[in-house]
Amino acid sequence: MDAENKILRLILGDQLNINHSWFSSVGSNVTYVLMEIRSETDYAKHHIQKVVGIFAAMQNFAKELQHKNHEVIYIYLNDEKNLHRFDDNILALIEKNKFTQFEYLLPDEYRVDEHLKAFTQKLNISSKVYDTEHFYSTRSELGDLFVGKKTYLMETFYRHMRKKHKVLIDDESKPLHGKWNFDEDNRQKLPKSHKPINPLVFSNDVAEIENEIIKSNVNTIGKVNSKQFIWPINRKQSLELLNFFTTNCLSLFGTFQDAMAPNEWSIYHSRLSFSMNIKLISPKEVVDSAIEAYHKNPDEIAFHQLEGFVRQIIGWREYMRGIYWLKMPEYATLNYFQLQEKLPGWFWTGETKMNCLKDAIHQSLNYAYAHHIQRLMVTGNFALLAGIHPDEVDAWYLGIYIDAFEWVEITNTRGMSQFADGGIVGTKPYVSSAAYINKMSSYCSGCYYDKNKKVGEKACPFNSMYWSFYNKHEAKLGNNPRIGMMYNVWRKMNVDAQNELLEQADYYLKHINEL
Ligand code: FAD
Ligand code: DLZ
Ligand code: SF4
């Protein structure tokens, strides 16, 4: 490399991949920069645990790089010279240190991608962008696979990924055990005899970071125990959590992946999304570890548990990213049902009489985490039935979860959960009455509302709102073959019963803040 060349390399808060080829050798002319900035703390109202967790992981990552003799500049939130934007801080560093080249890694978020593209176009020194070396697929791979197609089936993409990366397939590219998808063996409710497992949590002291965030008046939601911060904030802890999952949870992951239980916040889920999304560990490491655990212990870990888990990572996670890069920025404006309502205030406090929502929201405020089926079939289900504007729903999900980054949040929220994309991600809206929530949890038995009542005092709001939703959107959904059966039931109902349901739903929607 040219001795005169002085390179500045930017590392974003979700790009903490120590195995990246950037770090395989120490360049005397290379300086890395990480920055805690207001453009990132303020583009959403984040959970305090998310901001604390990202800053703690960034600080640890900077120390690790320094320990490996890399040159690092770390800009803290309250540094006097912090200009709180990527471009302004970089320009100031270039000016001060006379860098001759600027380099960065492909951002995962469209907003930051556009920002850095525009910035480097105007920059009067050369610049270069590198892959993050994290994902299995490239940004455009899904788009290329489905070119000319009208639909983007996850299952098609998943099979492509299995074959391409030789995951759980035989020498002839056929799926092991004869099938691609073993979902029918999964999705059971927890039995009465179920004994909750104690999830592995960490005890990180992040009080100083919390103080700095408070000092600078960053507006956050939720709570944190900053003397005992539970989330992994470095690679070592992330690997420990992975090991905990493969040892204690994988053997029942698939079976209970859709189960919900009051006071049990993660059941057999891995809680690895935060570590993966900020790239402390890679999806390949996670998938390989799960496969290794299965091979070591085939008597305990059945194949369908493993396949169910692998599908979430090389299927859903990569698929969502592919959809994001194919459809942004238009995706963020989609509102298929033209919904306009606001989220009720209790989404921010958990103070509702609906037990399922109370539990899912309290848990989200306490842990910055809810597992998939709580996000989809409790909070997401309610928001769609209540006709909430997808912008409102997105803002809530982007803020509240520690793993929330737009590429995976918006495709799940606006797409899978709210059907605001009109069916790009999902083939039908995920809505349900109390029957589904009761089938997958024990929430209903402790609820103020009656799961069996559709109308009248204490009738579960999900029941009437469910039918009202289908009625309202019949023009858009009536011909969908996947929900034809529900419309048959609705159309066969007598008019008085239909009207009672619609009136009940109307009443609840008008009094949504009191539910
Ligand atoms: P596990 O159940 O242990 O699953 C293992 C891994 O599979 C996860 O860590 C995740 O990386 C991946 N995965 C599973 N389901 C999905 C999915 N639908 N899309 C993408 N990856 C998946 N996930 C995020 O990472 N960030 C988000 O902001 C996010 N927002 C969501 C919003 C809604 C409305 C819904 C319905 C889902 C959302 N998800 C999001 C997907 C999923 O709920 C989380 O990935 C999962 O709950 C994280 O917990 P876990 O690590 O214990 O997952
Ligand atoms: C989410 C987040 C927050 C809260 N703060 C920072 C920060 O101060 N500095 C930083 O580099 N990254 C932060 N992030 C993560 C970024 O928002 C993320 O890197 C972009 O959205 C790209 O995915
Ligand atoms: Fe939720 Fe209705 Fe069951 Fe109450 S009765 S827990 S509101 S589904």
Nearest residue (CA) to ligand 1, atom 52: 271
pTM of structure: 0.97
CA angle at residue 460 from 456 to 464, to 5 degrees? 75
Residue 457 Cα distances to 293, 361, 462, angstroms: 51, 24, 14
* Distance from residue 234's CA to the centre of ligand 1 (Å): 20
* Distance from residue 59's CA to the centre of ligand 2 (Å): 13
Report the distance separating Cα 196 and Cα 403, nearest Å: 23
**How many CB atoms lie under 10 A from the CB of residue 142?**
26
Peptide bond connecting 329 to the previous residue in cis, omega within 30 degrees of 0: yes
* Closest ligand 1 atom number to CA of residue 272: 51
* Distance from residue 5's CA to the centre of ligand 1 (Å): 42
Report the distance separating Cα 324 and Cα 316, nearest Å: 12
Query: What confidence score (pLDDT) does residue 202 get?
Result: 98
Nearest residue (CA) to ligand 2, atom 21: 109
* Distance from residue 86's CA to the centre of ligand 2 (Å): 10
Query: What confidence score (pLDDT) does residue 3 get?
Result: 54
> Residue 33's beta-bridge partner residues?
10, 73
- CA 36 and chain centroid, separation: 22
Report the distance separating Cα 112 and Cα 355, nearest Å: 38
* Closest ligand 3 atom number to CA of residue 434: 8
- 358 CB burial (10 A radius; 0-12, 13-18, 19+): buried
Fold of 345-514: DNA Cyclobutane Dipyrimidine Photolyase, subunit A; domain 3 (1.10.579)
Report the distance separating Cα 326 and Cα 337, nearest Å: 22
Report the distance separating Cα 213 and Cα 229, nearest Å: 15
Nearest residue (CA) to ligand 1, atom 44: 372
Which pair of structure tokens corresponds to residue 73?
């500049």
* Distance from residue 442's CA to the centre of ligand 3 (Å): 9
Query: What confidence score (pLDDT) does residue 4 get?
Result: 75
Report the distance separating Cα 504 and Cα 508, nearest Å: 6
Among 286, 280, 261, 133, residue whose Cα is nearest residue 202: 280
Please say whether the structural domain 7-130 has been given the CATH code 3.40.630.30. no
Report the distance separating Cα 411 and Cα 292, nearest Å: 30
Report the distance separating Cα 365 and Cα 362, nearest Å: 5
Nearest residue (CA) to ligand 2, atom 12: 13
Instruction: Give 171's Cβ-side CA count (13 Å radius).
Output: 0
Residue 53 Cα distances to 308, 378, 404, 469, angstroms: 28, 26, 12, 38
Q: Are 325 and 378 in contact (CB under 8 A)?
A: no
User: What does the domain layout of the chain look like in residue ranges?
Assistant: 7-130, 141-327, 345-514
Among 136, 171, 132, residue whose Cα is nearest residue 287: 136
Q: Are 437 and 385 in contact (CB under 8 A)?
A: no
Report the distance separating Cα 259 and Cα 257, nearest Å: 6
Q: Are 441 and 261 in contact (CB under 8 A)?
A: yes
Query: What confidence score (pLDDT) does residue 2 get?
Result: 52
* Distance from residue 43's CA to the centre of ligand 2 (Å): 9
DSSP, residue by residue, 166-198: T-SB-TTSPBGGG-S--GGG--PPPPTT-----
One pLDDT digit (tens) per residue for the chain, 515 residues: 455 799 999 999 999 999 999 999 998 899 999 999 999 999 999 999 999 999 999 999 999 999 999 999 999 999 999 999 999 999 999 999 999 999 999 999 999 999 999 999 999 999 999 999 999 999 999 999 999 998 999 999 999 999 999 999 999 999 999 999 998 877 899 998 898 999 999 999 999 999 999 999 999 999 999 999 999 999 999 999 999 999 999 999 999 999 999 989 999 999 999 999 999 999 999 999 999 999 999 999 999 999 999 999 999 999 999 999 999 999 999 999 999 999 999 999 999 999 999 999 999 999 999 999 999 999 999 999 999 999 999 999 999 999 999 999 999 999 999 999 999 999 999 999 999 999 999 999 989 999 999 999 999 999 999 999 999 999 999 999 889 899 999 999 999 999 999 999 999 999 999 99
Report the distance separating Cα 69 and Cα 414, nearest Å: 44
Report the distance separating Cα 334 and Cα 396, nearest Å: 17
Ligand 2 pocket by Cβ (under 6 Å): 12-14, 35-37, 40-41, 46, 51, 54, 107-109, 112, 405
Name the H helices within 34-140.
Answer: 38-42, 48-67, 86-97, 110-122
Nearest residue (CA) to ligand 2, atom 7: 36
* Distance from residue 404's CA to the centre of ligand 1 (Å): 9
Pocket test for ligand 3, best of 260, 263, 346, 438 (most atoms within 8 A of CB): 438
* Distance from residue 42's CA to the centre of ligand 2 (Å): 10
Residue 292 Cα distances to 91, 114, 305, 452, angstroms: 46, 39, 13, 45
Strand order of the β-sheet with 101-105 is 71-75, 30-35, 7-10, 101-105, 126-130
Report the distance separating Cα 238 and Cα 278, nearest Å: 11
Q: Are 394 and 409 in contact (CB under 8 A)?
A: yes
Nearest residue (CA) to ligand 2, atom 14: 13
Q: Are 196 and 261 in contact (CB under 8 A)?
A: yes
Please say whether the structural domain 141-327 has been given the CATH code 1.25.40.80. yes
Nearest residue (CA) to ligand 1, atom 38: 412
Buried b / exposed e along 372-396 (16+ C-beta atoms within 10 A): bbbbbbbbbbbbbbbbbbbebbbbb
Helix (H/G/I), strand (E/B), else coil: 141: helix
Ligand 3 pocket by Cβ (under 6 Å): 354-356, 434, 437-438, 443-444, 447, 449, 451, 460, 462
Q: Which residue has the tokens 């590219």?
A: 173
404 lines ligand 1 (CB under 6 A): yes
Q: What are phi and psi of 463, to 5 degrees?
A: -65, -50
Q: What is the 3-state secondary structure (H, E, C) of 435-450?
A: HHHHHHCCCHHHCCCE
Report the distance separating Cα 359 and Cα 354, nearest Å: 9
Report the distance separating Cα 422 and Cα 158, nearest Å: 21
Is the fold of 7-130 the same as that of 345-514? no
Buried b / exposed e along 488-507 (16+ C-beta atoms within 10 A): eebeeeeeeeeebbbebbee
